[in-house]
Structure 1
Amino acid sequence: MRFSTFLNARCMGEEQDRDLLLDLVEHVERAEAAGFDAVFLPDHHFTGYMPMASDPMMFAAYLAARVKRMHFGFSVTTVPLHHPVRFVERVNILDQLTEGRLLVGVGSGTTPEEMIGFGVNYKEASRLAEENLAIAEQLWAKKAEEAPVTFDNGHYKGEVVQRIAPVAYTPGHARLMPVAMKESSARRAAQFGWPAFIPAFTPPQIGGTEPFKHVQKFFTIYRDLLLAAGHSAERVADALSWTTHTYQCVHIAETDEQARAELEEILTDYQAAVEREAAFNAKAEATEANKKTDRTPNALTDDWIGTWCLYGSPETVIEHLKPYQELGIGNVLCGLLTGPLTAKRKAYANQTMDYLSRVVMPALKGGA
């Protein structure tokens, strides 16, 4: 079982931007020293989510010069907001800089505020994601001497006469990671032999207290499609080893009671940050075209904690993760920085990282 850290911290104002960027660099270097397998970066804009998330590929390129063992992932790239040519070029550069240690999560996005900032109709996001990925595959495959690749999907258009430079380090191109929520996404990942993100809920409900039931359902669909796709044993093993279950907030303390109390403290600050952004979200959803169809539960509810949190003593966390390991989940993505990144929050993150590296990871890294 692999373990990865998720850079999902927030800041509460522009005066905190620089400190947060520097703190994230320190966190990633600490994570590599602690034995984490990868760092995953979000792709978010205008939301107060974090300054790094506005260009995670640029931040990953900086980190790639500082950490030499860990993989780099994106959870997830909002594909409709990226011109297909720029997306392919930047992925190839990162694939070269990381020598193939790249996992590009792809999705259609969830936030209308981000869509209007880039002039994208929220209701067209899913279509644009599918079409942009199809264009990207054409661009990755194109040789310099072949006929031009011409495209126009109503929002992005272009004509590539020669080829994308640089070429990818990975044969074909870097591994993409769809969210295996729809069968079409699971099938795409299986067809190409890519890993996938495995959801812990089934829409339209975003949350619940039985996450394993949903993980088991989506993982089984993806795994069966992957096994039926005719890949080599090595390709299948690699894909499954990075198949990812995400926890937005992971917190470990000496006892279950201490961990729960500290978790609620963390989530109180996190929810305050979410509510601070509510007025901006409402402005973005003023038009019917950009109205969201789902709502995420309050972070202090049992539904949110049950779906998105992993907490307790080291022993409790190990027992919680064993069924996921036995199922075949290859990578646990750990949100160690959830919420505003205060000095106390950083101390809690370091506390959890220490327990993970000393106790939890040695117990689970040996394989199911």
Structure 2
Amino acid sequence: MRFSVFLNARSMSPAEDGRLITDLVDHATLAAQSGFEAVFMPDHHFNGYMPVASDSFILAGYLAARLPDMHFGFSVVSVPLHHPVRFTERVNVLDHLTKGKLLVGVGSGTTPEEMIGFNVDYRDASPLAEKNLEIAEQLWAKRMDDPAVLIDNGPYQGRVLQRITPTPYGQNHARLMPVAMKEASARRAAVNGWPAFIPAFTPPKIGGTEPFVHVKKYFDIYKGMLLDAGHSDAVVKDALSWTTHTYQAVHVAESDEQAREELEVILKSYQAAVEREAEFNARAESNEANTKTDRTPNALTDDWIGTWCLYGSPETVIEHLKPYAELGIGNVLCGTTTGPLTEERLRLGDQTLRLMGEKVIPALKGL
């Protein structure tokens, strides 16, 4: 079982943005020193949501120079917000900078506010993402003398006459990581021999207290497709070793009581940030094309904590994760900076990294 750190911290004012970036660089460095194998970053825009996420490709390139042994990933790139030419180019550049240690999570995005900033209708996000990924594959495959690739996808237009540079680092482009919730997404990952994100809920409900039931359902479907795809044992092993289950908030302390007490402090601050963001997002929901169909539940409820949180003493966390390791989950993505990144929040996040590195990771790494 691998462990990765998720740089998902928020900023609450312009004055905090610069310090947040510096603090997350230091946090990622501590994660590398503590036995984590990858750094994952989100892709979000506006509202002080996640400042490093406004261009996480740049941050990944910077961190790759500082942490050359780490893998780097995105959870996830909002594909409708990227021109397919820029998407393929940036993936290839980062593929080289990481020496092939790149995992590109892909999805259709989150809030109407983000979509409006890029001239995208929220209701068109999914088909726009699918078409952008189809175009990206054409661009990656195009040789210099092949016919032009025509781009005609909503706000994204163009005609590529030559080829994308640089070429991918390896024989194929960097691994993409769909979310294995829809059959088409699970099959895309499986057919290509890519890892996948394995969700712990089934819409329309996006929380609950039995996450393993959902994880097993989606993992078994994805693994079955992967085994049926006819890949070599090496490809299957690599894909499963990076197949990822995500916890938005991971917190480890010396005792279960301390961990729960500190987690509630973290989640209260996180919930306040979410409510602030919801006020801004509501301004974007001014017509049918830009209205969300789901709502994030309160982070202090048992449903949210049950699905999205991993917390406790090192011993409790180890016992919680053993069934996931036995199932075959290859990578646990840990949100260790969830919420506004105050000085105290950073201290608690660093505490989690150290205890994970000292006790949790050594106990589970061989499973």
What band does the TM-score fall into relative to the shorter chain? over 0.9
Residue 335 of structure 1: aligned partner: 335
**How far 1:123 sits from its partner (Å)?**
0.5
Alignment of 1:296-335 (within 5 A): 296-335=296-335
User: Letter of the aligned partner of 1:168 in structure 2?
Assistant: P
Secondary structure at the aligned position of 1:277 is classed as helix
Distance 2:48 2:194 in 1: 31
Normalised by the size of structure 1, how large is the TM-score?
Answer: 0.99
Q: How does 1:268-287 map to 2 (within 5 A)?
A: 268-287=268-287
Per-residue CA deviation, residues 198-245 of structure 1 (Å, 9 max, x unaligned), is 000000111011100000000010000000000010000000000000
Give deviations 1:24-58, integer Å, cap 9, x for gaps: 11111111111110000000001322211100001
Match in the other structure for 1:65: 65
Aligned to 2:22: 22
The residue aligned with 1:236 is 236
CA–CA separation in structure 2 for the residues paired with 1:297 and 1:17: 26
**Conserved 8 A contact 2:49-2:277:** no
1:183 aligned onto 2:162: no
Q: Which residue of 2 aligns with 1:198?
A: 198
Give me the whole-angstrom Cα distance separating, in 2, the residues matched to 1:178 and 1:52. Answer: 22
**In the TM superposition, what is the alpha-carbon distance from 1:172 to its structure 2 partner?**
1.6
Query: What are the equivalent positions in structure 2 for 1:137-156 lying under 5 Å apart?
Result: 137-156=137-156
**Which residue does the alignment assign to 2:254?**
254
Write the letter of the residue equivalent to 1:71.
Answer: H
Aligned residue for 2:66, secondary structure, equals coil
> Tell me, which stretches of 5 or more residues in structure 2 are unaligned?
none
- How far apart, in 2, do the equivalents of 1:101 and 1:268 lie? 36
SS at match of 1:115: helix
- Name the SS for the 2:45 alignment partner: coil
User: Aligned partner of 1:335: which letter?
Assistant: G
Distance between the aligned counterparts of 2:80 and 2:173, measured in 1? 19
Map of 1:347 onto structure 2: 347
Instruction: Identify the residue that residue 134 of structure 2 maps to in structure 1.
Output: 134
Partner of 1:360: 360
- Alpha-carbon deviations, 1:319-349, whole Å to 9, x = none? 0000000000000000000111111111111
Q: Distance in 2 between matches of 1:154 and 1:17?
A: 32
**SS in structure 2 of the partner of residue 75 of structure 1:** strand
Q: Which residue of 2 aligns with 1:89?
A: 89
RMSD: 0.7
- Residue segments in structure 1 that go unaligned for 5+ positions in a row: none
**In the aligned structure 1, how far is the partner of 2:30 from the partner of 2:67?**
10
Q: 8 Å contact 2:77–2:107 — kept in the other structure?
A: yes
Structure 2 CA distance for aligned equivalents of residues 322 and 47 of structure 1 = 38
What is aligned with 1:117? 117
Tell me the distance in 1 between the aligned counterparts of 2:18 and 2:132: 33
The residue that corresponds to 1:33 in the other structure is: 33
| Distance in 2 separating the partners of 1:342 and 1:155 | 38
Query: Following superposition of structure 1 onto structure 2, how do residues 208-247 of structure 1 map, counting pairs within 5 Å?
Result: 208-247=208-247
2-side partners of 1:39 and 1:283: how far apart?
33
Alpha-carbon deviation of 1:60? 0.7
2:142·2:163 contact (CA, 8 Å) conserved in 1? yes
Question: Are 2:301 and 1:294 equivalent residues in the alignment?
Answer: no
Distance 2:256 2:56 in 1: 34
Cα deviation 1:167-189 (Å, max 9, x = unaligned): 01022200000001100000000
Deviation at 1:155, TM superposition (A): 2.4
**How far 1:157 sits from its partner (Å)?**
1.6
Range with bigger deviation, 151-160 or 34-43: 151-160
Runs of 4+ in 1 over 6 A off after TM superposition: none
**In the aligned structure 2, how far is the partner of 1:154 from the partner of 1:51?**
27
